[in-house]
Structure 1
Amino acid sequence: MSPYEGTGGAQGEDVPHIETLFRLLSSATVRIHAAPEGYAEGVSGATPWGSGFFVAPGWVLTCAHVALRGGRDEGGKREVGLSFEETGDGGATVTHTVRGLVEWAQPEHSPPGDIWPGPDLALVRVLNPPPHPCVWLSERTARFTLQDVYFFGWGQLAGSASPVGPVDGRCTVTGQYGTDGWLKLGNQDEIPHGVSGGPVVDLSRGEVIGVVKASRSAGRDGGLATSIVQLRRIAPPAGTVAAETEDTYQHVMHAHDRYHAQRHRDDETTRDTWTDIQGPLRATAQRALTAGRRAELLGLLAELPPPLSTARLDEIIAQLTGRRYDGILPAPRGWRDGLGMLYDPRPGLRELDAVLRYAVYAATADRPYPAPGAANAGCGTGSAPPPPAPNSTAGPAAGCARSGPSGCPPAAPGSTTLARPRPRRRRHRRAARPRRRRPAPVRPAGDHPTGLGTQPLRLAGVRHRAHRRTHPHRR
């Protein structure tokens, strides 16, 4: 858990500690090459096709021109090899070589010419992966950042005893290149061959915002990167969705958020986490939620089924921000994407209010399939009215006509239905006859008004803790 949680993360640093960032990136970055041989233990003279990095347990993100460079088809999918290092607690390093299948790539085939068109991204599903760390992907919908960025990958090392080794550097994003979500990387540092497919980190926020694509031209420094937002181009499944695994984008993003929430909650870990480096950053300290609280909230949202559609999610965001999304980048598709749209709300609406209302809407919204453990959901499917305006007293469940054990209780006229933590009743114990505290009754998932078990109450708990942090005088 982040050591900055108790101070709210307000340490005022501009960039994360580079050594810590290097360890996080190097442990999550892989070399992509032919399958099945890969690298033997130690140094190998083979040249990798490029780099990639773990974005969720068992999933690697890279460039399409890297993943589709070679390899053989396995069941209609391209098979590749991946190698990465694991450093134990004692400092010993072990090289893992595994197989992977390219589950999605765009473009799907090698085009004519030297430059692959956008988005030039691919997702590789790793077969039987050993335990490994993952990077933190930004949930923001932004064209680019004007801050310094840090890139990492495995490149060819001229004049080194090892032909391939880790390469990192720091440069600026100078602007946008075309309409495919490409970012222009400044010429402050060299990007050698092999780094393509590696992560690009926004140093001001401590999160991955892009994938290194290539150098702009031979003999000149600088290069191109593809925005993480382009992952939203993964085509949604056709027809009715019955499970998370049927939607590749939602499946990978949910696994990413659950991983980082678990890492943040792990009190026994002695290794650095992404919330550790995000906590003291100045940009994080200015947010309504600390880095740790944001990881918790994203983890809770990842337990919910995704929105019914992109249009429905846009309606919810528009109710909170007062504007619909009209950017040139792909529109938000998941709950994490919508949360990233609330960090700069419209005038008159506090960021914390927008985030908390959004969490309640997500917990009570219509969904394409029941949430886990909500087989008897009462309000989990079907149609429901759009969320009320921020200054409205009606909650998202207002207008639900169903009532009873598995339905939504009718809202009282003029009352609010936002979930709030239930105050605890004080128990007075007699000194002579101490009572043994009885466990709280367990409510079945289907009996909860939202049909989601305890999920809305957990989201409400995040709201309550954030409210106490911002209003310390109210206990």
Structure 2
Amino acid sequence: MRRSVVRISAPGAGQDDEDARFWGSGFFIAPGWVLTCAHVVGNGGGDVLEGGAAFDVTAFDAGTRRERTRPGRVVLALPPPRPGGAPAGRWPLPDLALVEVEDAADAECLWLSDRSAVVPAPVALYGWSRETGELGWRYGTGTATGGDAGGGAMLLRGEIPVAGCSGGPVLDTGRGAVIGVSKGRGEGTAGLAVPVTALRAIANERPGRALLHTVVRAHDRYHLQRYRSFGAGGWPGLQRPRAAGGFTPVLRAQLFARLAELTQPDGPGQVMTLVDEVKSRVLQDPYQPGVEHDPRTWREGVGLLYDLRDGAADVPERPDGPPRDLELEAVLLYAARVAAAVSGLGHAADRRPLSGLADWLIIQADQLRDGVRKDIHRLLHGGSDGFAEPDRRPVGDKVSLDKVRFGPVETEEDAGRARADVLVEIDPLMYGDLYPWRIKLLGENNRVTPLCDDTRGVPRAGLREALREPIAEALRQSDVGEHLAALQVVLPRELFDEPVASWRLTPPGAGDDVFDPHALPLGQRRVVVVRDRRRRDRPAFPEWHTRWRGTDRGPMTAVPLRGEVPVPGHDARRRESRHAAYARFVDTDPSAVPVYCGPVSQGPGAMALEAALAAGHAVVIWRCCTGEHDDCEEFHEQASRLVCEATTAEGLHRRLRSLRIRCADPESPDEDARWAQSIALLMDSPEDPTLSPPPLTAPGPRPGQGI
């Protein structure tokens, strides 16, 4: 540990232990890369935080066997520096900084945990401090006891080191892996750390994604090379396997170094799709994750697959049969799925590392039971049912890959779709003018995973900004390659005209000058639909089911939401009553879709929409703009044509997305699509159990269960 942990100081202070310019601690995670806290390097001011000025990084030098000071420079700080480089006041989380250190290729590096932080865990903390007088090496022991709901903080208890150790590593002593970075000390024995998983946040943007993959690749290459050179002197050799067999530290180092050479995933959705499939296959019972994870590299997916049964590696397959090594089955099957997914990209740079990974997988798979072993060979042969499985050989024998044919595997789980849809639920006003909200993932088999919420709420004017980053995070976890998740927004009716399809995932002003798909309004890239919050409070009624099935089956027809529209326009003298509108909607065909050129959250539009929803209509199209316009008749004509051409409710999505793009240019919008400006779609299925409140049951045994 002492050879890997560094002290960080102002320029020229690194060699002087008594100099008051000592800032804090850090540690090498890869040759030439140090991880520390942003507030540590923030002692140097804005120029240091922005990477403009260097500082001293002092560490043990393996060559001279003495301490050596090298210049370091901040490459990335989280959160990013404020405009002008001014340091943050209280250093909000995640409070991390990546530092590039010159001429440090021979640095000794610590092992970063590949798993999401698991607490409670016994930990040790290391760093430098001058609180006792002399600047010296300090360490302490304790327990990681918990964290916050967002996974951005780790709570510590025990003999927490003194000031100056901020930026040093928090080591899980049970696994020999760094799980956090020391941030500060509280009262008594309390402390605060940042989980190393917070580094994932740098991958939210493409430059940061490349940086994360560069550092992780260097980390995993280092540890495999170290093991090959020093054997028991490297990290894998120093670890004691937690059980016989299983996914041992040596196998971990070998696999991670191979995965690091591959093209990395675009987002967590790709990783979690493979993780979900493997868990369902290996566990062979309904798989329901208790928490949603956010992996950004292939290695993090592995970290979610071993210790499947709370650390018990051997689980009997049947009472009279041999034990199953669940860890190894899950990890190797996942690695084979990664190989198939990456090979499907067709990148020339992946051919050689894929070949090496397949060689390793074929050897390791010989240890597994027949079912999973055959799955792995089938994956490596492009999903062919007629592949010839190589003869089983002792582990360690070389396998020829001449007949291995890589290719994506088409399975029922891989049928070209996003991992989940994203559900945003906004409740009616509860505390003055505040709207509470929740975000969930809607997966297959009615699987619902809560992500985040604000039970107190925000004013209507603050909804867009409050939901921007949570929605972006949920979409990152749901998108899989080119398959983008749909966004379903459940709204109280007074918010139906909120232009959610025009919301952007970038901060205000960002991305306006660049035609970047990630900066486009949501409705121009993906499916965005509104759903009715009020109907969720009661069981679905028969008319709602009938009309949903009608639009799902088609062919659809259009009816005006208001009876006097479109010919007279909005200022018509005759105004349809609520009961007359309801009677008209009851008599329409089950596949009819009401359309309206105007807002529906208040006024005549709201009254007509209330009647349509009471009659069971599940698909409605309207124009949520409130500005003046004189093309109401054209809107209804074009919207009616849109409905008829779409045929079914699902057929509306691609056409609506195209219309939103065509009329989006403020300087020269497509004249043929101008009528569709501010168009909104309600698509509200009554058959979706994920939104229905669970039925209340009396305490005690369920029917059919004994006491």
For the criterion TM > 0.5, the same-fold answer is: yes
1:316-465 counterparts in 2 under 5 A? 316-322=274-280, 323=287, 327=291, 331-345=294-308, 350-366=326-342, 370=347, 372=349, 374=351, 395=375, 411-413=384-386, 449-450=405-406
Q: Kindly state the Cα deviation for residue 262 of structure 1 after the two structures are TM-superposed.
A: 0.8
Cα distance between partner residues in 1 of 2:162 and 2:154:
17
> Which residue of the other structure, out of 128, 131, 135, is the alignment partner of 2:110?
135
Cα distance between partner residues in 1 of 2:377 and 2:332:
15
CA contact (8 A) 2:337 2:379 kept: no
Q: Kindly state the Cα deviation for residue 421 of structure 1 after the two structures are TM-superposed.
A: 6.5
Q: Greater share of helix residues, 1 or 2? A: 2
The residue aligned with 1:429 is: none
Name the amino acid aligned to 2:159.
D
1:266 paired with 2:229, answer yes
The residue aligned with 1:298 is: 256
Runs of 4+ deviating beyond 4 Å: 87-90, 110-113, 346-349, 375-378, 390-400, 419-424, 439-443
Name the amino acid aligned to 1:173.
A
CA contact (8 A) 1:191 1:214 kept: no
> Which residue of the other structure, out of 170, 194, 205, is the alignment partner of 1:226?
194
1:120 paired with 2:95, answer yes
Across the two proteins, how many residue pairs are aligned to each other? 371
1:55-70 counterparts in 2 under 5 A? 55-70=29-44
> Which residue of the other structure, out of 183, 188, 195, is the alignment partner of 2:165?
195
Per-residue Cα deviation, 1:119-148 (whole angstroms, up to 9, x for no partner): 111111223335211000111123x32232
Q: Kindly state the Cα deviation for residue 313 of structure 1 after the two structures are TM-superposed.
A: 1.3
Unmatched runs of 5 consecutive residues or more in structure 2 = 281-286, 310-314, 318-323, 356-369, 408-707
The residue aligned with 1:462 is: none
Name the amino acid aligned to 2:2.
S
The residue aligned with 1:86 is: 60
Q: Kindly state the Cα deviation for residue 68 of structure 1 after the two structures are TM-superposed.
A: 2.5
What SS does structure 2 have at the residue aligned with 1:131?
A: coil
Identity between Structure 1 and Structure 2 (%) = 33
What SS does structure 2 have at the residue aligned with 1:321?
A: helix
1:29-48 counterparts in 2 under 5 A? 29-34=5-10, 36-40=11-15, 43-48=17-22
- 1:121–1:74 CA distance, 2 compared to 1 (3 A): closer
Q: Kindly state the Cα deviation for residue 97 of structure 1 after the two structures are TM-superposed.
A: 2.5
CA contact (8 A) 1:171 1:185 kept: yes
Q: Kindly state the Cα deviation for residue 83 of structure 1 after the two structures are TM-superposed.
A: 2.4
What SS does structure 2 have at the residue aligned with 1:200?
A: strand
> Which residue of the other structure, out of 232, 237, 243, is the alignment partner of 1:276?
237
Cα distance between partner residues in 2 of 1:340 and 1:396:
19
Q: Kindly state the Cα deviation for residue 256 of structure 1 after the two structures are TM-superposed.
A: 0.8
Cα distance between partner residues in 2 of 1:376 and 1:339:
18
1:304-315 counterparts in 2 under 5 A? 304-315=262-273
Cα distance between partner residues in 2 of 1:123 and 1:246:
13
Name the amino acid aligned to 1:289.
F
What SS does structure 1 have at the residue aligned with 2:74?
A: strand
Q: Kindly state the Cα deviation for residue 294 of structure 1 after the two structures are TM-superposed.
A: 1.6
Name the amino acid aligned to 1:351.
E
Q: Which structure is richer in relative contact order (CA contacts within 8 A, separation 6 or more)?
A: 1
Cα distance between partner residues in 1 of 2:300 and 2:93:
21
Larger-Rg structure: 2
Cα distance between partner residues in 2 of 1:137 and 1:289:
16
What SS does structure 1 have at the residue aligned with 2:190?
A: strand
The residue aligned with 2:72 is: 99
What SS does structure 1 have at the residue aligned with 2:106?
A: coil
- 1:395–1:215 CA distance, 2 compared to 1 (3 A): same
TM-score, normalising length: structure 2: 0.46
The residue aligned with 1:434 is: none
The residue aligned with 2:217 is: 254
- 1:132–1:420 CA distance, 2 compared to 1 (3 A): farther
Cα distance between partner residues in 2 of 1:153 and 1:104:
20
Name the amino acid aligned to 1:265.
R
CA contact (8 A) 1:49 1:69 kept: yes
Unmatched runs of 5 consecutive residues or more in structure 1 = 1-24, 379-389, 401-407, 427-438, 452-475
Cα distance between partner residues in 1 of 2:9 and 2:89:
22
What SS does structure 1 have at the residue aligned with 2:306?
A: coil
What SS does structure 1 have at the residue aligned with 2:233?
A: coil
Name the amino acid aligned to 2:47.
D
What SS does structure 2 have at the residue aligned with 1:26?
A: coil
- 1:247–1:176 CA distance, 2 compared to 1 (3 A): same
